[in-house]
Amino acid sequence: MTEQEKAERFAKSAPPLRDGELEAINALFPTYIFRRSCTEEIWTTCCHEHTTVGIEDMRVTTPERNFLAVMWEPHQREPRNRWCEPAKPHVECPFCGKPAIVKELRYTGKRENLSSYRRAVVLRWYRGALWARAYDCGKHYTAGYDLAGDPTYKLVGVYRFRPGLAEATTRSWYGNSPFGHIEKQDGPLTKGRWNIHAPFSANADYGIGYDVIGLDEIQESPFRYCCAADFKLSGSRLLEFLTACCFYPRQIEMLMKAGMKDVVTDLVDRGVKHATVIDWDDPKKAFKLNRQDMKTFLGTNRDIRILELHKRLKSRIPLTQCAEWISRGIDIQRTVRAAKKWNIPLEKLIRYLDGYVGCAQYGGMSSLSSALRFWEDYLTAAEAMGYLLHRENVLLPRNLGAAHDEATKKHQAKLERERAAQRREWERQQQAERAERERQARLAEEKYEERRKKLEKKYGFAMDGYVIRAPLGKDEILAEARKLQHCVGGHADRHILGQTTILFMRKVKKPDEPWLTIEMNGNKLVQIHGFKNEGLHTTKGRFAPDPREVYREFLDTWLDWMEKGSRRDKKGNPKLPKKKGAAA
């Protein structure tokens, strides 16, 4: 037999739903009374009645059979969305007395909005085992459904609980998938969580919780003393709870009866066993306590941490004292860690810290855990300041408040000094870098004169009252940029270093007045711009004409001359080709 066949067979062996159980499922849904006033018909969804209300019925106005109220009750609308208040029942069903919502049929449209879904887990003691069957249930009132009919239901999970064995099979949520395989929990929980879980919900929108039907069936089972009814069912952990009951019935009984439901919840929900204080293997000595201690413990608020602390303190401290420390907010794990780290007996540390809890002078110590943080704060500072923490009077100072404030103050000051030193060092570095940059620039400028001469030789040019020359230095480029309000200033350093070439075009009569600025790449003119780059480009175009166009003849002649090798006469003036039509 395949896994799937085994699972199907297991599911089939579960007891089928019986009438009472189906009615209990029906009762999970809202109760409607549908009414057709014109024919005086009513349908009840609670008790499946469909009848025509006669004159005789109308006269009956006892609370049990109040037809008149049903006929007079106005139609109740459904809330517009799920955040609105749900409709509330205003009348009682004249047949069974259940509070009901009246719906006048002609106002209900197709009634799709009345469809609702529930997940129900139905328990039954059957053939020597406690069975749980999970159903996805729905009620629908659209065309094709009986207004007074039963809910629809689909089996989505089957569980069988016996001492020492819990089994389950579930369908996955999509489509009509079959039961896949049987999950088993056949031994006590050793690590991790239980193998048995509630089935995945197809209607996650409606919450994955479920309603439990047949809780009293547990009374027939071996788990009758486990107080399942007292276990918090709203968390929908009943299936896991029953799984735990298969293995630890006596312990669960004892814990539930001792009012220690949270310990059971830890076991059921998270697989947490509090094994240091609870013996899950031998129910006879479950708490690992003697009779007298057990009596004392039952006299406290029965917080499991009291036992844990007691255990941590090697059972030497009375339980009442442990309970006192728990009530004063001790963080057991953290305190144990700190005691171990600083090599102090746990009891000594707790007593030391306890001496400061509620200390008016130091408001930060309102509980044992905040006192611990306060002390650890002191240690952080003391360690950084090189205090001799191996000495007990330094590790556990007589006046923790004062010692804390002094140490943290010193530590703060030290940190401040370190930060200031870091800042100074950073500033020094910045300054050094700046100086180095300036030195490089100066060096470049010193060497620039040589470069300028070369540029002058290659590019220097004069004709028709215009002159082109190289800048004298960085300052001149900056002055040019300032005067013309364009961006050449940003290129000054690059020009000096030879990474780009900037030239000035001037009028011969005003050789020192900035006018047009040129950027060259070898023999190629990259750009030429004057005041404000001829006005910024706007949607209407430039404000001033492009100098490359206006001085095209001059510039082309210059570029042409340069292309041919920048030839000059003996005086250094450029040699130009004869102009066409010029006098010889």
Distance (Å, whole) CA 338 – CA 423: 35
69 binds Zn ion (CB under 5 A): no
Shortest distance (Å) from residue 147 CB to Zn ion: 13
Residue (15 or 89) nearer to Zn ion, CB: 89
Q: How far is the CB of 142 from Zn ion (least distance, A)?
A: 21
The structure tokens listed for 483 are 């005067």
The vertex-523 CA angle with 522 and 529, nearest 5°, equals 90
CA distances from 345 to 338, 340, 352 (A): 10, 8, 11
Nearest distance from C-beta of residue 94 to Zn ion, angstroms = 8
CA-to-CA distance for 193 and 360, rounded, in angstroms? 46
Q: What is the DSSP letter of 78?
A: P
Instruction: Select the span of 86-94, 149-157, 389-397, 563-571 touching Zn ion (CB under 5 A).
Output: 86-94
Shortest Å distance, C-beta 235 to Zn ion: 31
Choose the binding region for Zn ion from 4-12, 89-97, 117-125, 362-370 (rule: CB under 5 A).
Answer: 89-97
Does position 93 bind Zn ion by CB under 5 A?
yes
Residue from 10, 29, 95, 206 touching Zn ion (CB under 5 A): that is 95
Encoded tokens for 284: 């006879």
Distance between CA 4 and CA 7 in Å, rounded? 5
Q: Examine residue 96 and tell whether it contacts Zn ion (CB under 5 A).
A: yes
In this chain, which stretch among 66-74, 85-93, 128-136, 163-171 interacts with Zn ion, using CB under 5 A? 85-93
Judged by CB under 5 A, the residue of 27, 47, 165, 272 near Zn ion is 47
d(CA 134, CA 165): 19
Q: Are 53 and 39 in contact (CB under 8 A)?
A: no
* Binding piece for Zn ion, criterion CB under 5 A, among 95-103, 332-340, 542-550, 559-567: 95-103
Give the separation between CA 511 and CA 513, rounded to whole angstroms. Answer: 6
List the one residue out of 542, 442, 533 whose CA is nearest residue 481.
Answer: 533
- Locate the DSSP E strands across 461-548: 461-463, 466-469, 501-507, 516-521, 524-529
The least distance separating Zn ion from the CB of residue 55, rounded to whole angstroms, comes to 21
Count of residues that bind Zn ion according to CB under 5 A: 6
- Work out how close the CB of 108 gets to Zn ion at its nearest, in angstroms, rounded to a whole number: 19
Nearer to Zn ion, 89 or 222 (CB): 89
Sole binder of Zn ion in the list 26, 44, 170, 321 (CB under 5 A): 44
Q: Which two tokens stand for residue 70?
A: 């049903």
* By CB under 5 A, residue 33 contacts Zn ion: no
In the complex, what is the shortest distance from the CB of residue 145 to Zn ion, in angstroms, rounded to a whole number?
Answer: 17
Closest CB to Zn ion among residues 30, 271: 30
Stretch in the footprint of Zn ion (CB under 5 A) among 15-23, 87-95, 249-257, 451-459 = 87-95
Q: Does 42 bind Zn ion (CB under 5 A)?
A: no
**CB atoms inside a 10 Å sphere around CB 90:** 14
Minimal distance, residue 97 CB to Zn ion, in Å: 7
Specify burial of residue 319 (Cβ count, 10 A radius: 0-12, 13-18, 19+): buried
DSSP assigned state of 294: H
Among 25, 42, 46, 346, binds Zn ion (CB under 5 A): 46
329 touches 338 (CB < 8 A)? no
Residue 93 or 346 having the CB closest to Zn ion: 93
* Contacting positions for Zn ion (CB under 5 A): 44, 46-47, 93, 95-96
